[in-house]
């Protein structure tokens, strides 16, 4: 928090990477690492989607923390006995402390954990998904899409940075602002960028090129949570997503694409934000709405052309233990 009441995100993460050549000491290997996520978290949701689209489920297992955490850590309270069945731990914090007993920062998801040692490898959410696209290629499924094509990387990086600064992070800056000035600044920044995105997407189906890329995944995980939590809980209330025609159609298009909507659990999303953020919602009451049936209505974006998976194919259904409740 700055002296002007502005929320400032700590972006110092464990910088190690899992790479094909193992240059950081963590080589890509099947069944060695566990991706720890929470359904509620938009940053973790990115990794869940990328893993699904690339078909990495057979070689990269996934642990799912519950939607509510305390000041110490995300915990595995959805699992029998409250322990992750692969790592054998109750809290993700234990994997961070295995790596560094004095780890001083927040315990965040997503995180890659080295199963043999029980140590967290990295929680650098932005790099993790890029590495899944570029370093794990040996284990991509047949028909996996190119989510970070080399010829478009500069543009993807540019758009993704603007989306991070003005959308992904700005909703939190609205919600956690501690002054009227800080809130209004973030609010205006957010909706100016949403207007810009509406103009960009009015005549093209995806953010960069004619296929789904990393940029779309990064925007989707914020937009899909917008009406459920950010509009009311974080006071991002100029309009609902459902009142922004282009972005509402764009997000429904992605939601109805295999690998996107089938990762979304609105009940866990709402429980996390409304219960954990006691400073924003002291009562801990979780709203019953909004109605989610609109997510399955026709979006009409096919008329803009584009090929969701390029020369690839849609992923198959998620593994049974990883399925979320259908709308």
Distance of alpha carbon 221 from alpha carbon 213, whole angstroms: 13
What pLDDT is recorded for position 285?
98
- Report the Cα 319 to chain-centroid distance in Å: 19
Calpha distance 6→179 (Å, rounded):
7
Instruction: Give pLDDT, residue 327.
Output: 83
* Residue stretches of the chain with pLDDT short of 50: none
* Tally of CB atoms within 10 A around 99: 17
CB-CB contact of 290 with 227 (8 Å): yes
**Active-site residue set:** 41, 172
Euclidean distance between CA atoms 288 and 132, whole angstroms: 36
pLDDT in tens, 44-65: 999 999 999 999 999 999 999 9
Render pLDDT for 168-180 as a digit per residue (tens, 0 to 9): 999 999 999 999 9
Q: Which tokens belong to 152?
A: 């478009």
Q: What is the DSSP-derived secondary structure letter of residue 230?
A: I
What is the pLDDT, as a whole number, of residue 54?
Answer: 98
The three-point CA angle 249-260-266 to 5° equals 85
Q: Tell me the HSE value of 254 on the side-chain side, using a 13 A CA sphere.
A: 29
- Give me the domains of the chain, ranges plus CATH numbers: 31-137 (3.40.30.10), 148-306 (1.20.1050.10)
Q: Contact at 8 Å (CB) between 33 and 24?
A: no
Residue with tokens 């094509």: 149
Tokens of 115: 């199963």
Q: What is the pLDDT of residue 2?
A: 84
Whether the bond between 272 and the residue before it is cis, its omega within 30 degrees of 0, is no
Integer Cα distance of 187 and 177 in angstroms: 10
43 is in an annotated binding site: no
Q: Which residues contact 232 (CB under 8 A, 6 or more apart)?
A: 287
User: Pairing between strand 33-38 and 61-65?
Assistant: parallel
By residue count, the chain amounts to 327
């Amino acid at each position: 928090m700055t002296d002007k009441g502005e929320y400032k995100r700590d972006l110092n993460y464990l910088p190690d990477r899992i790479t094909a050549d193992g240059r950081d000491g963590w080589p890509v290997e099947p069944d060695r690492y566990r991706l720890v996520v929470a359904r509620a978290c938009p940053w973790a949701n990115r990794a869940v989607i990328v893993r699904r689209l690339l078909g990495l489920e057979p070689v990269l297992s996934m642990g799912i923390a519950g939607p509510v955490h305390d000041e110490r850590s995300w915990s595995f309270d959805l699992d029998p006995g409250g322990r992750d069945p692969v790592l054998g731990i109750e809290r993700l914090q234990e994997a961070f402390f295995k790596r560094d007993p004095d780890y001083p920062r927040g315990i965040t998801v997503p995180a890659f954990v080295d199963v043999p040692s029980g140590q967290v490898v990295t929680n650098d959410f932005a790099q993790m998904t890029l590495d899944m696209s570029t370093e794990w290629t040996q284990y991509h499924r047949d028909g996996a899409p190119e989510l970070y094509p080399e010829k478009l990387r500069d543009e993807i990086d540019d758009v993704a940075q603007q989306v991070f600064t003005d959308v992904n992070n700005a909703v939190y800056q609205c919600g956690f602002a501690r002054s009227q000035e800080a809130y209004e600044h973030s609010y205006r920044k957010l909706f100016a960028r949403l207007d810009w995105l509406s103009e960009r997407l009015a005549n093209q189906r995806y953010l960069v090129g004619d296929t789904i890329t990393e940029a779309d995944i990064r925007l989707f995980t914020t937009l899909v949570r917008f009406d459920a939590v950010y509009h009311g809980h974080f006071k991002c209330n100029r309009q609902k997503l459902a009142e922004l025609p282009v972005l509402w159609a764009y997000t429904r298009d992605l939601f109805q694409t295999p690998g996107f909507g089938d990762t979304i659990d609105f009940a866990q999303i709402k429980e996390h934000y409304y219960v954990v953020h006691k400073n924003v919602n002291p009562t801990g009451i979780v709203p019953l709405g909004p109605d989610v049936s609109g997510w399955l209505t026709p979006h009409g974006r096919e008329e803009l052309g584009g090929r969701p998976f390029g020369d690839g194919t849609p992923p198959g259904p998620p593994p049974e233990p990883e399925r979320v409740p259908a709308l």
